[in-house]
Structure 1
Amino acid sequence: MTIRVLLADDHPLVVDGIRGFLETYDHIEVVATATNGEEALAAFAAHNPDVVLMDLNMPVLSGLAATEIMRERKPDARILILSMHDSPEYISTALRHGASGYVLKEVPTEEIVDAIEKVHAGERYLCTGTEQMIAPERGREPLTSREQTVLLELASGMSNKEVARSLDISVRTVETHRKNIKRKLGISSTAGLTRYALEHGVLRE
């Protein structure tokens, strides 16, 4: 059975390289390519591929947004994220948006083919090393109500001093909350906290 693949990535060299090695396999056919999320949606509608190989960071419309829309239009769409980002945030976010799997661009080409086959068969695929990264998140310690409040204020751009003043607590207490929030969420940066808050409805755009 031929697996019909839509390849979406905004880097022409990446597209050419991946398309070239995929087409050396008799059972895989690249039916279309796209350089942004909007093109990917159009190609998805026109070609109805078996598997979409999707980059996360693309212009016009991101891979995450395109993934979500594809799953809304076709709930059984098989979408495999191909990314250079190996952080737990990216991986878990992609899965929450409906991705069927996640594979890093740096893996051997044989693993990408294996991922396509697994996703096509209806399985979830996480490339070597990523399963361990997101495993802690599934059994993650929940945030306390105070930590959720601190997260909201930090994510909205307030400094530690401003949060302390707003909640009538010490700056040191805010720093402790901040450290605990980052530890529980597995997030290392303030930008990551903001992204988490947006994605989980804690903070609105």
Structure 2
Amino acid sequence: MRTEADTLEKLRGRLAEEAQAEGLIDVAYRTIDSPIGSLLLAATDQGLVRLAFANEDHDVVLESLASTVSPRILRTPARLDTAARELDQYFEGRRWRFDLPLDFRLSRGFRLSVLEHLVQIGFGATESYTEVAAAVGNPKAVRAAGTACATNPLPVIVPCHRVVRSDGSFGNYLGGVETKRYLLDFERRTAIAGSAR
């Protein structure tokens, strides 16, 4: 026997399919569970535009996307299946690099340069904010490199967690220091186990 929740979910699915077929969705989103909590994934036709931690308040993030990208936002889980699958593989230790198309429209200028560099930092490796600033051509912009990491709209996928202070301490992290610690420890252990094979 079908419950009211099942009927509502089926209706939402049909609405999403029809809206997508008509080209009425500019931003599709879904949430997934992960070892670091609930993650919001949002994508445009160009690619993944936002990944948000639970502590950011997913509703606030969606409101921000509505004002900065488009108000035509709809929960469309199937459109983000590839992103969800790659994140699952990452947290299982089977994926060390993401192959997703990314939409960097929420970052510009120096911040965008930093994000483009971050994807080059290897799984299980770290760089200091000073090294990141130098790598993007502005060695004196250490604080700006930190700001670029702090405002990264695609954490985990664009691995700002791999950037630490020069003394090796973690610094701040959008998902919280414990999340950064978890990701760095997880990647280090996984990389060691992978190289031992």
TM-score, normalised relative to structure 2: 0.26
By relative contact order (CA 8 Å, sep 6+), the higher-ranking structure is: 2
